Structure 1
Amino acid sequence: MATIEECRIALDHLSATLARAEGGVRDAAALDRSLSCRITDLDVTFVGRLAEGRIQDVTTVPGVPPQQAQIRLSMEGDDLVSLVGGELHFAKAWAAGRVKVQASLRDVLRLRSLL
Structure 2
Amino acid sequence: MADIEECRAALEQFSRTMAGAEGDARKAAALDRTLSCWLTDLDVTFTGTLRDGRLQGIAHADGAPGGKAAIRLTMTSDDLVALVDGRLGFAAAWARGRVRLEAGFQDLLRLRNLL
Task: Settle same-fold status: TM greater than 0.5.
Answer: yes
TM-score range, shorter chain: over 0.9
Q: How does 1:64-83 map to 2 (within 5 A)?
A: 64-83=64-83
Secondary structure at 1:93's aligned position in 2? helix
Question: Aligned partners of 2:89 and 2:28: how far apart in 1?
Answer: 18
Deviations 1:3-35 (A, max 9, x none): 111000000000000001111101000010000
Question: Aligned partners of 1:65 and 1:91: how far apart in 2?
Answer: 23
Q: CA RMSD in A?
A: 0.6
Counterpart amino acid of residue 24 in structure 2: G
Question: Aligned partners of 1:65 and 1:25: how far apart in 2?
Answer: 27
Count how many residue pairs are aligned between Structure 1 and Structure 2.
115
- TM-score, normalised to structure 1, is 0.98
Counterpart amino acid of residue 94 in structure 1: W
Q: Which residue of 1 aligns with 2:3?
A: 3
Deviations 1:51-70 (A, max 9, x none): 00000001101112321100
Q: Which residue of 1 aligns with 2:44?
A: 44
Counterpart amino acid of residue 62 in structure 2: P
Structure 1 runs of 4+ aligned residues shifted over 2 Å read none
Structure 2: where are the runs of 5+ without partners?
Answer: none
Secondary structure at 1:107's aligned position in 2? helix
Secondary structure at 1:24's aligned position in 2? helix
Question: Which stretch has the larger CA shift, 65-74 or 8-17?
Answer: 65-74
Secondary structure at 2:84's aligned position in 1? helix
Question: Aligned partners of 2:111 and 2:8: how far apart in 1?
Answer: 21
Question: Aligned partners of 1:53 and 1:106: how far apart in 2?
Answer: 17
Structure 1: where are the runs of 5+ without partners?
Answer: none
Q: Which residue of 1 aligns with 2:62?
A: 62
Counterpart amino acid of residue 20 in structure 1: G
